[in-house]
Structure formats: C-alpha cells, structure tokens
Structure 1
Amino acid sequence: MDNKNCFHCGKEYTAKEEIQFDEKSFCCVGCQTVYEIFSRNDLTCYYDFQSAPGATPQEIKGKYDFLDDEKILSKLLEFQENNTHIVSLYIPHIHCSSCIWILENLQKLQKGISTSQVNFTQKKVRITYNSEITSLKEIVYLISSIGYEPYISLENYETGKKVVDRSLIYKLGIAFFCFGNIMLLSFPEYFEVDEFWIEKYKPFFRWLIFFLSLPSFFYSASGYYVSAYKSIKSKMLNIDIPIALGIIVMFVRSVIDIVFDFGQGFFDSLTGLVFFMLLGKLFQQKTYDFLSFERDYKSYFPIAVTKINPNGQEEPCQIYKIEKGDRLLIRNQELIPVDGILISPKTSLDYSFVTGEAVPIEKKSGDKVFAGGKQIGGVIEMEVLFSVSQSYLTQLWSNDVFQKKVDQKHKSITDMMSQYFTPALLLLAFGSLIFWLFINAYMAFNVFTAVLIVACPCALALTAPFTLGNVLRIMGNNKLYLKNAQVIEQMAKVDTIVFDKTGTITSSLKSNIEFIGDDLLDDEVMRIKSIIRNSNHPLSRKLYDFLPESSLTEVFHYEEIIGKGMIATIGKDTFKIGSLALLDKPEGSEENKTTKVHVEMNSVYKGYFEFNHQYREGLHELFQQLHSNQYETIILSGDNDGEKEYLKSILPKNTNLIFNQKPEQKLQFIERLQKQGKNVMMVGDGLNDAGALAQSNIGIAISENVNVFSPACDGIMDATQFQKLFHFIHYSKNAMKIIYMSFGLSLLYNAVGLAFALTGKLSPLFAAIIMPMSAITIVSFVTVLSKVYGKKVRI
C-alpha cells in the first residue's frame, strides 16, 4: 500500500487514512479543519513559504479553562488597561517563515486581536487584543486549533524560571566520549604494533570503533544535517552544508575502508571533527550569551524620575533605584517607569509607546497605572508597586513602531560573504577531489574533507556581531546607551551634526536668572512655581529651582503647548507662561534679545524671567574637534538669537547658527539636509526635539536629572559625557575598521588553511582543531582592539 504525505503537516499516512478536501490530501480531520480555516480567511499563502509547515492540532477541550480566572489572567498579562490587554505566549512549534507569517496575521482569524509580533529566536508571540471582543482563552484555543498550542506554566510566570536548552551540552558530551574512546582504541593502529593478539583482534577493534562512532555521527552531528537540509530546501546555501557534507563523506569512506579491509578509516578524525565543531559552537553561544547579559545589565538609561522623600521634598532618583512604596512625581510628557497606584485626583495617560494607539486614557485616584504610559497635562503623584523592569523599558525603546529604516551594511557583508563563500568552497572541494582522484585516491577524500572543514567561514560570521556587541557594551560603560548594534555603523557614517541649544549645549542645572518687570507678590510667585512644576522643559526646571521654596497650590487646568509655553488656571486666575508667541505678541517687540520666559496673568503682562545660560563644559573643545575632522556643525534652536554673537565668539567660524525654529521646522530642516545626501546626527534634549530625533539618521538624547526617555531616539547620553561626543563618533569609525580587519584576518586564515589542505598536508582532524581556534583568535582580536580604541572614550 503506497504511503502519502499530508498537505498540511507533511505526516506520512496510508491510503486508508486519507481524507480528501479541495483536491488536497490530509492525514486527519484536524489538519483538514486547519486548512479550511486558512482557506475561509484567505490565508492559504501560508503554504507558499514552506511545504507542509503545519502541525496536527491536538484535542485540548477544557485544558485552558483556568484562563477564565481573573487572578491567574492578571499574572499572565504584560499589560492590562481598559479593554487593551497584551500577553506573550511561548509557542514551541515555531520553526519557519510560515509560522511567523500566520502568527503575525492572527487578526485575520480572530476579531479583537489588533497586533501580534513573533520573536523567532525565543519562539514567542506578543499579542495585543481587545478584551471586550475576545479573551485570552479564545485566543489560546484559536492558535491551538491551527497547530500552535502555547506552553503556559504558571510556575514560570510566578518565579521567572526559564527553560534552559541543554541539547548542545549533551551532544558535546557524547561527542567527547566517542572521540576519547576511539582515540584510545586506535593507538595500536597509530604505532603500527604487530603483536599477534593485536593482529588477531584488529577486525574486532575496528568494528567496535565503528559502533562507537554512530552516536557521534547520528546524534551529535544531527544539527548540521538538519540545518543543511533546510538550507537546501529553501534554496539558500549556508555554512553548515560543507560541514555536513564533510562529515558524511568521512563516515562513508571509513565504512568502506573497514568493510573491504583497506584500513582503519577516519572514525577518530570524524568524531574529533564533530567534537571540536560543537566546542566552537558552544564557545560562540556563550559569547553571544555574555554579550546579551552585558547589554541587559548595562543598559540602564541615564534618566531619573523625581522622588518625593519622607520629608515631602523633591529629589532626582535614578530609575533602577526606585523601590516598592516610593512616592514619585511625574510631570507633563514624562514616561511612567514603573507600575503603581495613582495618588493624584485624576489624570490622562498616553499608552501609545505600549499599544501603538495614542488615545488618552482617563485615570482617577486609586487606579493602577502601568509602566510605559506618558503623562499628559499637569503633574501627578503615584506610589510604586514594583521596582523598575529594565528589560521592559528596553522592550519599549526597541518597539517596532519606533524603529528607523537604517542601513545594515555590516549584516549584508556577512551575508554576502556566506552567500558566495559556500558555493565557491563546494566548487573548490569537488575540484580538489577530482584532481586528487587521478593522483592518489586515498588522499583525495582526505583533501576533500580537509578543504570543507578548514575553509568554514564560522569566524567570518562571528566577526561583525561580536565586534559591534562589544563596542555597544563599552559605550554603555561610558554612559552612552545605544538602542542596538546597527546604530554604531550609522554613527560611523555621520558627516553632519545638528545640536539643539537649550538643555543640550547649555546645562539645565546652571543658569543666572533675573526677573524684569513689575514686582511679583509672594502669592503670585507661589502660583507660578506651582504651574511650572508641571513642565519638563529645561527652562521650566531651571526656573522652578530658582524660585524660592513655598507651599504649592493645586492647578485646576493645565496645558503645555510645545515650543511656546504653558497655559494654566488657579482659582479664577489664568496664567500664560512662555514665549511672546504664546502671549500673541510679535518677537520683534523685544529690545534686548536674550532667552526669556514671559509671564501674563489674566491678560495683564507682568514681565519676564531673563536667562543667562551656562554652556556645557568642553563645548568649545568639542566643536573644535568636530571642525578639525571635517564635520559640518549646526546649532538649531527654538530660542531667539540673543546669544548668537556670544556663540560666534566661542565656536568655529563655519558653525551654522539658526534660531527661532519651531519643532516642525527643525524636522523639515533635517529632512532638507538628508535630501542633499547628508548623514545627519541630531543631538537634542528629547522633549521638543522628538520629531527631529526621529527624522535624523541617528538621534542622541542628552539626559540630565530629568526623565527624557524618548523612543524616537537611537541613543541616550548622560549629560556629563557631552564633551566626549567626538570620541564616541571616532570610536564607531574604529569599530568598523576592526570589522574589516577581522574579515581580512579570517580570510587570511582560510587562504593559508586551504593552501595546506589542497596540497594534502592538512588532516581532517587537525582542520577540525584549528577551526574553533580561528573563532577564538577572531574574538580575542576584536576584544583587544575594541578595548584599545575604547581607551580614548574614557578620557
């Protein structure tokens, strides 16, 4: 009876079990049902990415009834606000592009699901859904019905335990056992001992060696066969193909040798090859794990939130020092860094950073507020429920909604190398095999295998990610926190740097302030301080610190207009605090152009606060360094040009100074620069500059003791490191040099190794030993060089 394969899952079945539907064959009703679901929802292109990619759905009726329990549900959900719920589910069956495609199109299968994003490496899907339309239980049943049943363990959610994949360790252990014992049993053959008992039992020892090699060949090396098979099936040649081919050729050749008594075969080399290849893979895995750990640990954003101490005083506190029970002050446009309880009477929160929907959500006193919400309106107070989740903030920062389309040339270099390297390697290997068959058939297979192994571009593939990961870590240690490794290459290409003025090249901590106008009453000063307490703008923070301590009053209505100022109501009085544009007065009416914050009460002009800015330490030296290295520098400010002459006197002559720019004008200016072919870096304070930071090729937000977290930026730099900006840029250029030098070193290793392999002077075993050594050499090389180049950053 002929066996057939299921159209959906690929499982083999007999003709008796066959179910025909829509001119296609299925092994069971479950697979047919899944196909029907896809067909009804116009999702049959699921099968275009890979043939038979699905899994047979299991019977799970009643299995997930516990998801109706609100207490359990609250532990599983990442985010729960009104009708918007977010959950991450672990899906063990995720294995190919078809899985990604169908799981990211769940909204077509189930009403109420708005988005679903797959993390392929972690085999997780993050689902955002409307709890009024659907439930987590319904979603779990849906994805289970299409063959993607999630693994839900409350123990994992409560204790944070992670399932550790130890398969590589097991394979390495078995490979080492086989390799060690085969080497031991092969000693008489190595030394060509001719004693009677050895000659008598030689066939026995050879067959024993053969059986010892089977676990290593079939189990330990299985990953290479699977990878090579999938690569060929997808018509993309990867670096595992020559490795798998070399292992199979050695095994077949060794079996032929002992069957026909040509010799002992190459089982020692074969098992040694598998062991050292797996050792290299383990080294690479540990390297990536180390970088990931360093990134997670060092990626604390240099931002602070205002904490109210037991005495009622406000003090800046770094976010990772926030503890349960602390009382926090959140101003307008600040991000809530932790989950907590709202103490203030009411507020509105924007959760677009989390959900992608910019619809303000009303909250009242006693309601729970979630990390990631942005405060809209006046200042609020909240009590902390949990300490800050750094990984959650990093996740927000890396949300796809805020990702830029950056050039990823370093990736394409590696991919291009692998793309052309593998076919060239296979051609060279088969060419050398044919050549040596005419000279020495015994040596031909040795040469063939050695060529396949020694030229493996593993070190080549390791170069770029390890270099950039190491540089990312070093920059983090020096308080420049970049979003991802791709930003480093983009930074290396920068030729134009645009600086904001207030809060960027000026310090928000130091300033001489003087009030000019009618004398303010103590009550008026108290109310002005109460209003500006709500704002996060650098000038507001300076003015708040400048005004004398006083009891604060409640602000009933507060509105902040970006680039202009604040309008607020206290009692029956309406205040306008900001620029002349907010007061509907022309900018030209100012006699002495300096940075000013004007005050108007009930349409009566009271006067203005005049600021004499304190510029950041090292500003002159930084601009001189940038000028000397051919960078175009521009100051793009929303302030008036009152300090233009002073800036001209301290900055290089070719520095372009542009003032009176609204936030949208800054964005348009950067866009014009990019159309001229410029690679633009924008350095701003992360508040009024959000649009410009997002538009630029790379946006860096300067952070002082204010929560200026902005998903639009590519990096956050501690204000104390401002004078090191040139060194950071120069370091990114050196990082790219390291990558190119590492590529050269890897190619040199391959060239030398191939020269010996092609001439028959390199055994497969020795090739297997030096292959992981090349990866260690590359990693050591980039580590040393990145640290050497990184010394200047620590000045």
Structure 2
Amino acid sequence: MDTNNCFHCGNEIIKKDEVVFDEKSFCCNGCKTVYEIFSQNDLSCYYDFENAPGATPQEIKGKYDFLDDEKIITKLLEFQEDTTSIVSLYIPHIHCSSCIWILENLQKLQSGISSSQVNFPEKKVRITFNSTDTSLKDIVYLLSSIGYEPYISLDNYETGKKEVDRSLIYKAGVAFFCFGNIMLLSFPEYFEVDEFWINQYRGFFRWLIFALALPSFLYSASDYYVSAYKSIKSKMLNIDIPIALGILVMFVRSTVDIVFDYGQGFFDSLTGLIFFMLLGKLFQQKTYSFLSFERDYKSYFPIAITKLNSDGTEIPVQVYDIEKGDRLLIRNQELIPVDGILIAEKASIDYSFVTGEAIPIEKKSGDKLYAGGRMIGSVIEMEVLFSVSQSYLTQLWSNDIFQKKIDQKHKTITDKVSQYFTPILLLLALVVFIFWLFIDVSTAFNVLTAVLIVACPCALALTAPFTLGNVLRIMGKQKLYLKNATVIEQLAKVDTIVFDKTGTITSNKKSNIEFEGNDLTSEELSLLKSVIRGSNHPLSRKIYEFLPNSPKLEIQEFEEITGKGIVAKANNLIVLIGSASLIGITDESDTKQTKVHIKINNEYKGYFVFDNQYRKGVEELFKKLSNKYELKILSGDNEGEMENLQSLLPKDTELIFNQKPEQKLEYIESLQKQGKNVMMIGDGLNDAGALAQSNVGISISENVNVFSPACDGIIDATQFSKIGYFLKYSKNAMLTIYMSFGLSLLYNIVGLSFAITGNLSPLVAAIIMPLSSITVVSFVTIMSNFYAKKMQ
C-alpha cells in the first residue's frame, strides 16, 4: 500500500489532512466513510479488482431536493408499477471493473434495491427498487456517498438528448494543428537548405517545433497515458502500454536531439503518429456508434398489434406505426408495446418481462399501462399515450434475466490473442532495441518506436463486432431479427433443427375449416367469436377469421390453458373451446384430423375440423436442410397429419405428436444431453420452455404481437423458406471473422518484419495502423455483403 496516497481514491494525501483507519491512510473523512460502508457490508473486495478505484464523495446536501417532487420522479423513472420502480442513471465516474462490481451489488448497501445492472459503454446503471422501502432520492444520495454521484439533467430527460463527448475530436484537432505546423517548419531541414536566415535561426525554429509538439504530447495523447497507467496499476497489460511507451521514447529522444544540437528530432513523426492514431480511434468509435444505431433503431421487431379504427374494424399494424391517441386491441399473452390508458373495465398484466417478477397486477379502467407488460386473460382495449420506443423494447428483450450462458469461440480467440499480445510485443521491442543499439543508436530508437506502434491490434479488436454487427443488420433487412450478435455464432454451430407444427410449418392464414355438429345460432356464433377474440393461438385466429361478423359481447371471465384451450364466461354462459380432454369427452371418430371442440353451458355443440395448409416452400426447405441437419417435428396435435407430413418430409425425419409444452422442453434437453446443438423453431406460445432450453430458439411471427422473451430471434413468417439461407449465412459470417483475424495478424507480421529491419519509420507505422483497421472493416463488409447476395 502506498502510504502517500489515499487507499480509496488514490489522491495524494496532505499530511495535516491524513485520516488513518484500519491501518490504512485516507485523504479525507469521506473516503474513510466509504471504506467503512464497504467493510461493514462485506464489500471490501471492491479494492481487489483495482488499487484505489474509488472517487472522493462530494458534499451534496440539499442538491437533490427536487427528487421529492412526484412529477419530476415520474419523468425520470422508466417503469413504475405497484411497488416496483426502475430507473436508469448516468454515472460519469464508472471506469473499471471495481465500479461495475460495486454498482451491481447496491442491494447489499440499501434495503429496497432488488437489482442493478451496469451498461459500461454508456456509463449507466439500471436500478430496480421497491418504492415503499426506498426512494429515488435515497438511491441518488447513496450513490453520491460512495463516490458515484449520478448526472441528472431534466432537460435531457425531457428532450431525450444525451451529452455528446467531443473530447476525442478536440484532441485529434489539436494533434492535426501541431502536426501540420511542425511539418511546415521542418521543410528546410528535410531538403537540407543552406541559407543565412535558416542557419542563423535554426535553433529558434527547432525550439518552436518543440513548443508546438507539447500540446499534442501532453493533451492529445493523454488518454493513452491514463489507460496505460491504470492498466499497470491493475496488473493487467493492455495494448495502450506499448503505444504510450512508444510516444514517450520518441519525445525523450527528440528532446535530447534538440538540447544537444544533434538535429531537429522526430517531432514531426511524433505529432503525425498521435494524429493518425487518434484518427484510427475516431474511426473505431464511429464504427461502434454506427452499429449501435443500426441495432437500436432499424432492427424493429417484426411483430404487429391490432389497431381499432373509428368504425370498429380491426387492422394489424407494425408496432413502429403506432401513434399517440390510437386505440389498440390487446389479446391474451400479447405484449403491450407502448405506454397507454386502459379502456376496458379491468385487466391483469404480467410485468415479468420488465421486472422478472411473474405475479400479475390487476388494473382497472383509466389506469396507466406500461410498455413491456404481457396481457393475461380476456381481450382489452387501450389508448396510446406515447409512440413506441423501439430501443426500449429491444432493451427488454435483451434483459439479462433471459440471456443464455454460452461460450463464444470468436471472443475466446480475441481474448487469448490480447492476453499474450502485449507482453510478447514489449519483449520483442526490447530485444530488437538492444540489438540495434550495437549497430546504430538513431535507428535503434526508430525501430523501437515503429515496433511498438505498428503491432497495435486495433483491427483485431474491430473484426468480430463489425462483422457480426453488419450480419445482424443484413439479417434484419431480410426479416430475421436476432436478440444479439452471439446468436450468430450459435446458429453456425447448429446440427439439429426441431420444428413445432401448428403455426410454424402450417400457416395461420391458409386453412380449410368446417364445423361438424349441431347448427349454431347467431347468438352462439356471436358468443364464440367474442370469446376467441381474446386468444392468440393459431387455431383460435383461424376460427376467428372463419366465423361471420357479429356483435361483440362482454367477457366476464377468461382463462386460456396452455395446450388445452379456453374456459370463459359471457352473458352468464360458460364456454369451453379446445381439446377433447378439456371438454370432458372421448373422441372416438376414426379420422385423426386436428379438431377444436365446443361446449356451451355443459351442452356439447360439436367441433371445428382443420385441413392444414403448409407454408409455401416447406417441402423444398426440408429437402435442403436434411442434407446437413437432423430434422425433428414436435406437435401438440394428434397424428392426423402424419401421412401428409411424411409425404412432405425426408424419410429419416422424426415425427412426435401429442406433446405437452413440458414434454417438448424435456425432448430438447434429451437431444442436448446427446451432444446436439439444437435450434427450435416455434410460434412462441406453447413453445416458450422449449425455445428457452434450446441452443437457439427462433419464434415465428405472423402479424401477432406474441413471442417469448427467452427466444433468441424472431423470423417473419414470409421468410420461413429462407431458414437454410440464414443458417449457411451464419457459418459464412464466422468464416469471415476467422479470415479477417488472419488478415489482421498478417498486417502485424508484415509491418513488424519491416519495423524490425529498420525499414519502417514511426510516422509510416502510425499511418499503417488506422489503414489496417480500415482494410479489415472494408474486407468484412465486402465479404458479409458478398455472402448475403451470393446465397440469394
């Protein structure tokens, strides 16, 4: 422990202000208090991640009194329902693994906080808390007391604008100014012009060059020094260490040249080096922000919601076409895509999608409904308060609660390369430097700097995220929407594909339906249509379309039993719609067709029988897939469709019928125990467990606002025949990553071979570094676009 520096924040201690506690020195009582808080709550391993990771807590008494105002709190909160509230706070001080660790353990410091998740790139923490046990104001004061004061700007919350960090642009601008002027002043030296005024004032111009180099060296390159210093402190060698060392060596060497009049030094190369490296950094930053923009705003869910027109007609609309004031129809199990006001008398909403808690909340007419809730029970109507926030829905879908723990091969490769890269590079630079010292001292310094700079693996770091980001974008345009980039690698590993039948390989829209049984009266037809209106099951949607238009009745009770059917009450009549077991009968008919039975007030009325229509291209798709994948069909229906399916599918396809949702999940598990990488494709209703269990779960969407949060992707029903294309494209995407890894390493090997032999100046090395990033990004973009077009 450094006794001259604060154990908590690392600031230098003024002797008269030193506070000693627990045999540790602190610069003030604030830092000592934070240490005490962490120690008392068994959080002292905060200091194990990095030495002195904290910030000195500031005195903020009265600063956040405005958080007592309910109107302001409502604007700041993302979600507020019953006792559960969620807020995202921007915390500028987040900078290392210790910060992440302590901010994700806030529940140990204050009762009422149930969970907290850090978004490190955006420096945000998303906190879920119980508003009866703690308040937003208490949380803000807690964060401030441990040195993580949030930045709260009400203007930003109202306009939705974020503070833009332009520091990198300013630093690049200063570096460019210094580089340009030093180059201009260095021309006489380049051409060895021998003239009175130049000879007379050569010393003045050299010191002027030195002065111009200082802003670039001290300000523009400061991020590299800070990063290298933090890396050494935390005993983790990052790539900024050789870069900072190279800049420092060049500066010292050039200063020595000017002081002892050996020459003008290498300040032109130094400032050029800093400028081109910052240019590469800007390029990398823009690349990531481009990918983030594509992900947040263009990867719209291919799900629709039912909009009610003023004349009472129902039309499906895409979620991003919803506007304030629209009236929406939400059926059982549908996701509420926007904030709105409940118009129906009552509703039961499951907010587990947002909070992870699966206890439904009862709402009454006029109550506010939040986006992300799932409707439980009978159909409701709501009026839209705000247009859809697509990035918010994406955030919900990507909630850590629903993430699968998987190994990423490409990430493992990058991590391994990065782990050994810096120490090997530093050792190589030292050996080459010592070797050249015995030959030519001037060349030795040039070689050392060039080796340290040219080998920077920026291109290696860009390879995987840019490739996968571009593939996500291309797949999104072709209506396969993946939760995140890791799913692409999982798709590439798939060897077994399991299909649900109803609503997956059969179409919801195309089906011949007949009713067999007692003639239904107009009142009974109206009753059935009103009950089925609240269900999203594929068979329910077909019956709803089949039944004639009739007056809508108020549903008093509604329950949809997964895998069985609907039990409802309307006009004081009990209605049962579903399987024979739900109705309480034994189906003894010879035919094994798909049937939905009807019972009204204990009187059996008959059944709807379906002649399933299979999706276009299903036969050709299965034929292509059978060459490379094991195919399985899991169905909750009976074996009535077996003959039809066997005529469509390859001979070795396994067909399993009469499967309950839990049996589907167990079947997926049994395949995985055999070492299979399983992709499950279902409709997201009865298949939620199986989709969650599979290595890749894809939910098929057909203008219905239903999918499981545990699914890894959503495919538009019109793109069903392209599943083989998407699987092959994923494999080609991984191939592109490995090819670009090779290209990046080739750049480093070629660059190092020139640098080691003394044939590469530091300035050229600095130009090569961003050029390698541009080359690799161009390569992966061209290749991923080429594969996308080649397979169409």
Q: Is TM (by shorter chain) over 0.5?
A: yes
Which string of whole-angstrom CA distances, capped at 9 and with x for unpartnered residues, describes residues 696-748 of structure 1? 00111110111113211111111101111100110000001111111111122
The amino acid of 1:686's aligned partner reads G
The answer to whether the Cα contact below 8 Å between 1:432 and 1:448 also exists between their aligned partners in 2 is yes
Q: Residues 192-211 of structure 1: matches in 2 within 5 Å?
A: 192-211=192-211
How far apart are the structure 2 equivalents of 1:579 and 1:716?
Answer: 28
The amino acid of 2:594's aligned partner reads T
2:226 match: secondary structure: helix
The answer to whether the Cα contact below 8 Å between 1:340 and 1:368 also exists between their aligned partners in 2 is yes
How far apart are the structure 2 equivalents of 1:463 and 1:418?
Answer: 13
Out of 685, 698, 718, the residue aligned to residue 716 of structure 2 is 718
**C-alpha deviation, 1:28, in angstroms:** 1.7
1:421 match: secondary structure: helix
Q: Residues 99-498 of structure 1: matches in 2 within 5 Å?
A: 99-498=99-498
In structure 2, the residue matched to 1:34 is 34
Which string of whole-angstrom CA distances, capped at 9 and with x for unpartnered residues, describes residues 348-372 of structure 1? 1110111111111110001111111
Question: Are 1:24 and 2:24 matched, yes or no?
Answer: yes
The answer to whether the Cα contact below 8 Å between 1:746 and 1:778 also exists between their aligned partners in 2 is yes
2:549 match: secondary structure: coil
In structure 2, the residue matched to 1:672 is 670
In structure 2, the residue matched to 1:636 is 634
The answer to whether the Cα contact below 8 Å between 1:407 and 1:490 also exists between their aligned partners in 2 is no
The amino acid of 1:399's aligned partner reads N
> Structure 2 stretches of 5 or more lacking a match?
none
The answer to whether the Cα contact below 8 Å between 1:567 and 1:574 also exists between their aligned partners in 2 is yes
How far apart are the structure 2 equivalents of 1:586 and 1:11?
Answer: 80
Stretch of structure 1 that moved more, 274-283 or 596-605: 596-605
> Structure 1 stretches of 5 or more lacking a match?
none
The answer to whether the Cα contact below 8 Å between 1:595 and 1:610 also exists between their aligned partners in 2 is yes
How far apart are the structure 2 equivalents of 1:29 and 1:134?
Answer: 26
In structure 1, the residue matched to 2:606 is 607
How far apart are the structure 2 equivalents of 1:516 and 1:404?
Answer: 46
2:584 match: secondary structure: coil
How far apart are the structure 1 equivalents of 2:775 and 2:477?
Answer: 24
Which string of whole-angstrom CA distances, capped at 9 and with x for unpartnered residues, describes residues 146-182 of structure 1? 1111111110001112100001001100100111111
How far apart are the structure 2 equivalents of 1:278 and 1:636?
Answer: 55
Change in 2 beyond 3 A, CA 1:25/1:237:
closer
How far apart are the structure 2 equivalents of 1:42 and 1:769?
Answer: 50
How far apart are the structure 2 equivalents of 1:33 and 1:246?
Answer: 41
Which string of whole-angstrom CA distances, capped at 9 and with x for unpartnered residues, describes residues 315-344 of structure 1? 111110011111111111111001001010
Q: CA RMSD in A?
A: 1.3
Which string of whole-angstrom CA distances, capped at 9 and with x for unpartnered residues, describes residues 459-481 of structure 1? 11111111111011000011111
In structure 1, the residue matched to 2:617 is 618
How far apart are the structure 1 equivalents of 2:620 and 2:533?
Answer: 35
Which string of whole-angstrom CA distances, capped at 9 and with x for unpartnered residues, describes residues 272-311 of structure 1? 1101111111111111111111122221101011111111
The answer to whether the Cα contact below 8 Å between 1:3 and 1:14 also exists between their aligned partners in 2 is no
2:639 match: secondary structure: coil
How far apart are the structure 2 equivalents of 1:39 and 1:782?
Answer: 49
How far apart are the structure 2 equivalents of 1:631 and 1:260?
Answer: 73
Which string of whole-angstrom CA distances, capped at 9 and with x for unpartnered residues, describes residues 486-528 of structure 1? 1111100101111111111111011100011122122111111
**C-alpha deviation, 1:73, in angstroms:** 1.1
The amino acid of 1:30's aligned partner reads G
How far apart are the structure 2 equivalents of 1:318 and 1:228?
Answer: 49
**C-alpha deviation, 1:586, in angstroms:** 4.7
1:117 match: secondary structure: strand
**C-alpha deviation, 1:3, in angstroms:** 7.8
**C-alpha deviation, 1:42, in angstroms:** 2.2
**C-alpha deviation, 1:208, in angstroms:** 1.1
**C-alpha deviation, 1:21, in angstroms:** 2.3
The answer to whether the Cα contact below 8 Å between 1:328 and 1:381 also exists between their aligned partners in 2 is yes
**C-alpha deviation, 1:125, in angstroms:** 1.2
Tell me the matched-pair count: 791
Q: Residues 549-564 of structure 1: matches in 2 within 5 Å?
A: 549-564=549-564
**C-alpha deviation, 1:15, in angstroms:** 2.3
The amino acid of 1:676's aligned partner reads Q
In structure 1, the residue matched to 2:679 is 681
The amino acid of 2:454's aligned partner reads V
Out of 681, 695, 698, the residue aligned to residue 696 of structure 2 is 698
Which string of whole-angstrom CA distances, capped at 9 and with x for unpartnered residues, describes residues 412-447 of structure 1? 111111112222222221111111111122211111
Stretch of structure 1 that moved more, 419-428 or 317-326: 419-428
Q: What TM-score, normalized by structure 1, do the two folds share?
A: 0.98
**C-alpha deviation, 1:665, in angstroms:** 0.5
% identical equivalent positions: 76
The answer to whether the Cα contact below 8 Å between 2:553 and 2:571 also exists between their aligned partners in 1 is no
Q: What TM-score, normalized by structure 2, do the two folds share?
A: 0.98
Q: Residues 38-53 of structure 1: matches in 2 within 5 Å?
A: 38-53=38-53
Runs of 4+ in structure 1 off by over 6 angstroms are none
In structure 1, the residue matched to 2:530 is 530
In structure 2, the residue matched to 1:731 is 729
**C-alpha deviation, 1:18, in angstroms:** 1.5
The answer to whether the Cα contact below 8 Å between 1:727 and 1:792 also exists between their aligned partners in 2 is no
The answer to whether the Cα contact below 8 Å between 2:297 and 2:391 also exists between their aligned partners in 1 is no
Change in 2 beyond 3 A, CA 1:355/1:57:
same
The amino acid of 2:715's aligned partner reads M
The amino acid of 1:592's aligned partner reads T
How far apart are the structure 2 equivalents of 1:23 and 1:744?
Answer: 52
How far apart are the structure 1 equivalents of 2:215 and 2:273?
Answer: 14
The answer to whether the Cα contact below 8 Å between 1:3 and 1:12 also exists between their aligned partners in 2 is no
